[in-house]
Amino acid sequence: MAKIDEEALAEAYNRALALEKSGDIDAAVKAYEEVLAIDPDDHGGASVRIAALGRGEAPPKAPDAYVETLFDQHADAFEDILVEQLGYTVPMMVRQRLQTLGLGPFKRLLDLGCGTGLTGGALRDVVDDMTGIDISEKMVEIAHEKDLYETLYVAELEDFLEDNDDEPFDLVTATDVLPYLGALEPLFFGAAENMTDGGIFVFSSETRPEDVMAGRPFMVGPHQRFVHAEAYVRERLAATGFEVVEITDINVRMQDGEPSPGHLVVAKKTK
């Protein structure tokens, strides 16, 4: 692996950010392209930022190196930022919807993108055996300290779902995962392959009004997070062997003082 020129990378990235902030989008995109040339693995998420600026097509997902770096850097302050500052309560929403729908208790949970264990903590008393997986080693270390999960893995989600040969799960959760994915079929198909027939798949997604989506199945929003059209979510679920139990409109979190609209989706794997 070629050694990255860290000094040149930092200069190009800081210049790109400054140009973006000043409103010179053409120059900012060129600077982000310089960043990608220096660091093809894209630890800083330059490709996502280019897409957020409306240039080029949205990538199929955020680069693995970017997601891993982002969450490793924020692991220690993650819960304070997400819960206290951004008002994130999706794990408790998951618990409430499962209870209201009369679903559970469950035998085996697979918590995709488990982070520090927020969803695991919300569901611990309704699941016999919990497995968590996250791409960030530092996040998994914090989850491990909580002693919530029977099993924890550090891995990229789609790779894990493709290679896993553990017993199937009757509950799969993916809270705050879709904002880092564009194309959903790999995740949905992988989840289905690891689930029992009749198993429940619960996840959150972010969205934007139809006029903003403009017919696109997904796009990168202004905060470098992927947003998905509800029609696309429904279509991909049906194509990968799920039926929708319900889709609830929610506020996923606050961002710059504004709510981030989204959906909480409960789906069932069909035979």
Listed as own residue / partner, the contacts of 145-149 with beta carbons closer than 8 Å and 24 or more positions apart are 146/116, 146/117, 146/120, 146/121, 148/117, 148/120, 148/121, 148/124, 149/111, 149/114, 149/117, 149/120
Rounded-to-integer distance, Cα 215 and Cα 210, Å: 7
**Contact at 8 Å (CB) between 252 and 90?**
yes
**Contact at 8 Å (CB) between 226 and 181?**
yes
**Sequence-ordered list of residues with C-beta below 8 angstroms from that of 104, at least 6 positions apart, any chain:** 98, 126, 127, 171
**Contact at 8 Å (CB) between 70 and 129?**
no
* pLDDT per position as a tens digit, 170-226: 999 999 999 999 999 999 999 999 999 999 999 999 999 999 999 999 999 978 999
Domains and CATH numbers, the chain: 6-66 (1.25.40), 78-269 (3.40.50.150)
pLDDT at 271 over 80: no
User: What SS3 class is residue 143?
Assistant: helix
Q: pLDDT averaged over the chain? A: 94
Query: Could you give the C-alpha distances from 184 to 18, 174, 265, in angstroms and in order?
Result: 32, 12, 13
Tokens in use for 269? 């794997």
Q: Phi and psi dihedrals of 94, rounded to 5?
A: -60, -50
Rounded-to-integer distance, Cα 138 and Cα 74, Å: 9
Cα 107-111-115 angle, rounded to 5 deg: 145
* pLDDT per position as a tens digit, 9-55: 999 999 999 999 999 999 999 999 999 999 999 999 999 999 999 99
pLDDT at 85 over 90: no
Strand 127-134 versus strand 106-112 pairing type: parallel
Predicted structure pTM score: 0.94
Q: What pLDDT is recorded for position 104?
A: 92
